Amino acid sequence: MEKGQATTGTETGDRPEFPEFDPLVPDHIRDPWPILARARREQPVFWIPSLGMHCVTKYSDIKAILADSETFSNAGANVMRVPVPDDIEIPPGCPFPSVGDGLANQDGDDHFRLRRLMQPAFGRRRVASYADQIRGIADELIDEFEPNGSADLVVEFANELAMQTIAVVLGFKREDSHEFRAWTNQFLYLLSSPGMDQEEARRLWVGLIEWYKHIEALVQSRRETPADDLISDLMAAEPPEGVKPLTDSEIIANVIAFIVAGTDTTAILITQTVRRLHEEGLWQALREDRDGIEAVIEESLRLTGVVRGLNRVVTKDTELSGVRIPAGSVIYWMGSSANRDEEKFENPAKFDLQRKNTHEHVAFSGGRHFCIGAPLARLESKIGLNALLDRLPNLRVTEPEVEFHPSFITPTPKRLLIEWGA
């Protein structure tokens, strides 16, 4: 089995299952934590037949995975599960369907080269330069609903802040951000929905190719006229001697990845943090003293399961928690479960702002694949929360039970109704 060739549901051998857990069952999306705690005790590595993957739940196993990208590879781990219809032609240079040019889909020397060239565009100083723009977006969004005394935080603020921020950072027009939701959904459905109806598959593939063409046109425009944005930064990246510069295909693939990764995740974090502050009765205390806002964000990252789990391909026969995993298998490593592991975090279900090891969470992955966009996600969340704290006194969640759009990667809240004032 060559590295990057994944098999799902065809391996033979010992595959212990844990049928009590299904990451796509609504109740397990809403509150998987008691079942995952039991899995960590009884069967920390198990086979999920519906996904054709081995699920890994323990912190120690997941840290071993993140530290060993040779055995547990990102290359080939994320492939489109819905094939391209015969009557659709993929344009030359288009990163689909392999999505192989994205940073998160590379390992070894290829990954090192991409990360080295892209890192300056995500450095703390560069990211900090976006702060005023992000706060401006946040204030404009709040201006729209503040007089009403109530709002849907997901639809009217969190989603919009995330999408418009990514648009501004990348160099799109802000109004283009309204397309990001459809684009992201098209990508994720094709990535994770095998067996899709042929007509639906065709519709989604047509939309995804149009997305590619839109981004390609923006990249070509920046080649001719650079601007103060991330795409121009990537084009200006100066490779060391003997290192190939970033190609347009690589830039396009990573712009797509930034949109997909940067919209849902930050919106989920802001939404769930507000919900958590309400549940803990901490909104007013944080409003009066902002010194703890970084601790709030980090503990929320640990607890909320912004990204439930991600995939890697096993490149050689290996073993985790006594379970043999053959080469070519796909694993589904649940960082959200690891972040609640009792063996790592004392009283893990508690929202504890004094926790000494909160920063050891794996919400942003780890090792060589630590999320390159983490500084932007943290900054955007901090600015968004500060704007809400400044503008919405006595904020209350009026519908605490949250429903989610189904996904085994990033289940997103459908809405969170809030009100504020006296």
Q: Is residue 53 part of a domain?
A: yes
pLDDT at 9: 37
Residue 11 has pLDDT above 50, yes or no: no
Q: Is residue 186 part of a domain?
A: yes
Task: Give the pLDDT confidence of 62-116 residue by residue, as tens digits.
Answer: 999 999 999 999 988 877 778 898 889 999 888 888 776 889 889 999 999 999 9
CA torsion 251→255→261→263, rounded to 10°? 170
Q: Is residue 367 part of a domain?
A: yes
* CB atoms closer than 10 angstroms to residue 310: 20
Domain that holds residue 90: 26-419
Task: Give the pLDDT confidence of 265-284 residue by residue, as tens digits.
Answer: 999 999 999 999 999 999 99
Q: pTM (2 decimals)? A: 0.92
Considering the chain, what percentage of its residues have pLDDT values greater than 90?
Answer: 74
Q: Is residue 223 part of a domain?
A: yes
d(CA 67, CA 103): 17
The mean-pLDDT minimum among 187-201, 250-264, 309-323, 376-390 falls in 187-201
Task: Give the pLDDT confidence of 221-230 residue by residue, as tens digits.
Answer: 999 999 999 9
Mean of pLDDT over the chain? 91
How would residue 37 be classed by pLDDT, with cut points 50, 70 and 90?
very high
Q: 88 in the Ramachandran plot: left (φ > 0), alpha (ψ -120 to 50) or beta?
A: beta
Contact by Cβ (8 Å): 252, 366: no
Q: Is residue 3 part of a domain?
A: no
Q: Is residue 18 part of a domain?
A: no
Q: What letters, b where the CB count within 10 A reaches 16 and e where it falls short, cover 108-141?
A: eeebebbbebbeebbeeebbeebeeebeebbeeb
CA distances to 202, 299, 352 from 406, rounded to whole Å, are 22, 24, 28
**Burial grade of 387 (CB within 10 A; 0-12, 13-18, 19 or more):** buried
pLDDT at 8: 40
Q: What is the CATH number of the domain that holds 66?
A: 1.10.630.10
Task: Give the chain's domain count.
Answer: 1
- Residues 297-313 have a mean pLDDT of 95
